[in-house]
Amino acid sequence: MKKKFLSVLLAGAMVLSLAACGNSGSGDSGNSSTKKEEGGSSEGGNKLTVWAWDQTFNIKAMEMAGEQYKKDHPDFEIEVIETSSDDCQTKLTTCANAGDYSTMPDIVLMQDNSYQKFLKSYPDAFTDLTDCGINWDDFAALKQSYSMVDDKHYGVPYDNGVCAAFYRTDVLDEAGYKIEDLTDITWSEFIKIGEDVHKKTGKYLLTSESTGGDTIMLMIQSCGANFVNEDGEAFIVGNETADKCIDLYTEMIEKDVVKLVNNWDEYIKTVTDGEAAGIVNGNWMNATLVGIEDQKGLWQITTLPKVDGVDTATNYANNGGSSWYITSNCQNVDLAMDFLKSTFGSSTEFYDAILPATSGIACYLPAGESDVYNEPVEFYGGQPIYSTLVEYSSHIPEFTKTPYHYEARECVNTAIINITNGTSKEDALKEAQETLEFKMTE
């Protein structure tokens, strides 16, 4: 989810004592239990320990997976240790640097955008899941690629970060537009509509954080591109796709198409207060929107605008997401593999159950065909948004991954702000290139 994966920016400062890896938890009897930050190393037998965060989302889903698996495996137990995203990464780093994974759990949840850094730095910390029995074609290619190295799978896809464009249909109607007018369009067309909407209604068609960088990242990645090249080197200066994305984004700011705000709280406030009539971001924005009772029935979703003049451009992107990993400390790898395969890796029944319980949208493509996923959603005027989002996720292009995702985003976002404040584009991008190159050496 958005606020959780932004915290990964802190992951560079990972220095804790070995004790921070956690001590072996005693474990409660029964099918499942949840503890907070009390360790939880692998115990073997019929019990699996898991590190994850968010009681109402990830932890709830894992506990429900345990309940389903126990139906056919009565002796099965699962213990979920509530561990923040930062701490999952910090504890892993500490254990790896000490050369001792004995205090790691059986299964750990990791953010997609940060995982490559850990797999490349500590390849012996994770278990190869390639032959665990999962039909990997049941997951979108992009989602798989986050947890792959050298064609090997290390993660079971879970939290879906597929993006969508969310629009207030009442505001569009006031300005003379319908959701179809914003479907499968380009960013240039979006800008023209946005200018008109602002002129007629005083509202912005998009809101964006000046410190976040989500918008620029989803723009370039929707083209199957990134701010690094195939060799993993910083690629901001001379990157034609990046140039087009940055030009479009700065144009939106200059023409009052986007409301640029300082932080996440202000970002949300522009929507709840009705100042912004649109959001282009990860599907997890749904959790915020549906909580705005007086806007029920006024929103609909559609595809993203795509970048003009780029042959590889699409109307689809991803932002955020996470996957499950079996650590090298797991004492019963066969059990852990079968558990993940039977639930997160293959069960439409499971995904049907966790959707209403957690609002978690499946990465498992067959789930999008179920009756549950195709039910109309009142908040979105009866749109079956969940099946639509799963379908969108199947079209997101792959792009070059980098262990320095958050550093690249920060550098480019700073350049954009500098450009809007009067710095020449050439100077701003040169500084961003040099800063990213430096960060890659740290």
**Bridge partner residues of 209 (DSSP):** 261
Q: Give φ, ψ of 352 to 5 degrees.
A: -65, -35
Which residues have CB under 8 Å from 349's CB, separation 6+?
Answer: 68
Contact 41, 329 (CB under 8 A): yes
- 401 three-class SS: coil
DSSP collapsed to 3 states, 156-191: EEEECCEEEEEEEHHHHHHHCCCHHHHCCCEHHHHH
Q: In the prediction, which pLDDT does 210 show? A: 84
Nearest to 336 by CA among 156, 144, 152: 156
359: exposed, middle or buried (Cβ count in 10 Å: 0-12, 13-18, 19+): middle
For each of the domains in the chain, give its residue range(s) and CATH number, in order of start.
Answer: 2-161+320-372 (3.40.190.10), 163-317+398-439 (3.40.190.10)
Query: Residues of the chain whose pLDDT is less than 70?
Result: 1-44
Nearest to 403 by CA among 5, 9, 94, 116: 116
If one counts every other C-beta atom within 10 angstroms of the C-beta of residue 383, the result is 17
N-term to C-term CA, the chain: 27
388 alpha-carbon distance from chain centroid: 17
- For residue 274, what is the DSSP state? T
Q: In the prediction, which pLDDT does 41 show? A: 67
- For residue 383, what is the DSSP state? B
- For residue 217, what is the DSSP state? H
Tokens of 406: 């958050």
If one counts every other C-beta atom within 10 angstroms of the C-beta of residue 120, the result is 12
Q: Kind of pairing, strands 148-149 and 163-168?
A: unpaired
Q: At what angle do helices 240-254 and 214-221 cross, to 10 degrees?
A: 140
Q: In the prediction, which pLDDT does 45 show? A: 81
Contact 219, 245 (CB under 8 A): yes
pLDDT, mean over the chain: 90
Tokens of 369: 């065909």
Q: In the prediction, which pLDDT does 269 show? A: 95
d(CA 181, CA 168) in angstroms, rounded, equals 13
Distances (CA, A) of 160 to 1, 66, 223, 274, 348: 9, 20, 19, 27, 15
Q: At what angle do helices 187-201 and 240-254 cross, to 10 degrees?
A: 10
